[in-house]
Amino acid sequence: MKKTAIAAVIIVAAVFVAFLAYDGAVNKEYSSDFFVMNTYATAKLTGSKSKEAADEIRSLTETLDKGILSRTSENSVVSLLNVNGAGDAEKISDYLEILFDVCRKSGGAFDFTLGAVSDLWSFGSNPKLPDDSAIREALSHTGYEKLKLTENELVFGDKSAVIDFGAAGKGIALDEIKAVLFEKKIKQAVVSVGGSVLLMGDKEFTVGIRNPEGNSGSYIAKLHIPEGCVSTSGSYEQQFEANGRKYHHILDPETGYPVDNGLLSVTIISQSGILSDALSTACFVLGYEKGKALAEAYDCGVVFVADDKKIYAENGAENFIEITDDAYTLVMQ
Ligand code: AMP
Ligand code: MG
């Protein structure tokens, strides 16, 4: 090899080594946790701007909650729509289109207009068993078909209807967070908002499926998966006891009462945060057979945990799952 060629090879190698060293030095890991959307959020980020990104994630989710999705924050987009029964929905129209689609494809098992009913149950604040007559009256003001999205205007056919993004808000947050992670060139991220997790990076991640009957730190299975979003809806998340019975926060839109179909949790794997969150709720309401078909229609992996300690992993989730609690059995179909 000529001297000049050897010199060129040495220079290229030196630059490469210097780049690796620089990249390693600036790829800092940064973790933060905070309370938002009535739940705990955590972010573990690796990249040169990991702290900046974590700070931005925190303020972004707070603004998304208070300014847009919250039903308790007086001037949020959702609160104004609920008070006025109509209005500018430009900031949420992309989400609404997706949620209307989930409502339709789930045959109404998912319905983001159940707000009047969930208000009666007061999950999240001071839960109580409502009067049956009050539930029936509130139910008459639900139904996604009564709402129309035209251009960017949402109009309620029933002015007493109340929209509630409780089943999809955490997933929406993950999609917004993803944009920040790209913008800040984050190399690897695990961000959770309540029961929804965003995994980003070129590696295999491990996500635990919670023991529905244990405390928040106990798991019955693990998912070993590439990047994406994972959301779980579980009856254990918010429940209370009245007259010797347990009541939880996932409601059957036909009855206005908590779903009682033998499921304890449903986990969805998707590239979309909003879909993972909305579909975990929808599939919980639909139960195993119909839920499996819905997850398939959206090309998402799904794991059902039933109260007889059987676990069903479908649409690809069977390739990722490892059962870690002997009391549970993976049912192979
Ligand atoms: P998640 O924990 O994501 O399953 O969401 C549950 C929350 O979504 C509840 O606290 C209610 O605010 C709302 N919700 C309950 N039942 C339904 C349903 N059938 N369709 C849509 N939203 C629901
Ligand atoms: Mg959900």
Encode pLDDT of 83-117 as tens digits: 999 999 999 999 999 999 999 999 999 999 999 99
Tokens representing 163 are: 């929209």
What confidence score (pLDDT) does residue 255 get?
98
* Amino acid letter for position 10: I
CB 301 near ligand 1, within 6 Å: no
| Out of 149-153, 225-229, 304-308, least confident range | 149-153
What confidence score (pLDDT) does residue 13 get?
55
Mean pLDDT of 1-7: 62
What confidence score (pLDDT) does residue 313 get?
98
| Residue identifier of the C-alpha nearest atom 5 of ligand 1 | 167
CB 253 near ligand 1, within 6 Å: yes
Which ligand is in closest contact with the Cα of 274? 2
CB 234 near ligand 1, within 6 Å: no
Distance 252 CA to ligand 1 centre (A): 9
Integer CA distances (angstroms), 234 to 11, 305, 307, 327, in order: 57, 9, 12, 18
Tell me, rounded to whole angstroms, the distance of Cα 272 from its chain centroid: 9
121 pLDDT more than 60? yes
Distance 194 CA to ligand 2 centre (A): 10
Which ligand is in closest contact with the Cα of 233? 1
Tokens representing 319 are: 């390739």
CB 165 near ligand 1, within 6 Å: no
Percent of all residues in the chain with a pLDDT value above 90, rounded to a whole number: 86
pLDDT one-digit tens code per residue, 144-160? 999 999 989 999 999 99
How many beta carbons lie within 10 A of that of residue 294, not counting itself?
23
What confidence score (pLDDT) does residue 333 get?
75
CB 167 near ligand 1, within 6 Å: yes
CA angle 143, 233, 183 (to 5 degrees): 95
Which ligand is in closest contact with the Cα of 236? 1
What contacts 266, CB < 8 A, 6 or more positions away? Answer: 232, 233, 234, 280, 281, 283, 284, 291, 302, 303, 304, 305
What contacts 202, CB < 8 A, 6 or more positions away? Answer: 188, 227
Mean pLDDT of 239-249: 91
Q: What is the mean pLDDT of the chain?
A: 93
| Residue identifier of the C-alpha nearest atom 18 of ligand 1 | 110
Ligand 1 closest atom vs CA 253: 19
CB 250 near ligand 1, within 6 Å: yes
CB 249 near ligand 1, within 6 Å: yes
19 pLDDT more than 50? no
What confidence score (pLDDT) does residue 7 get?
60
| pTM score, whole prediction | 0.92
CB 277 near ligand 1, within 6 Å: yes
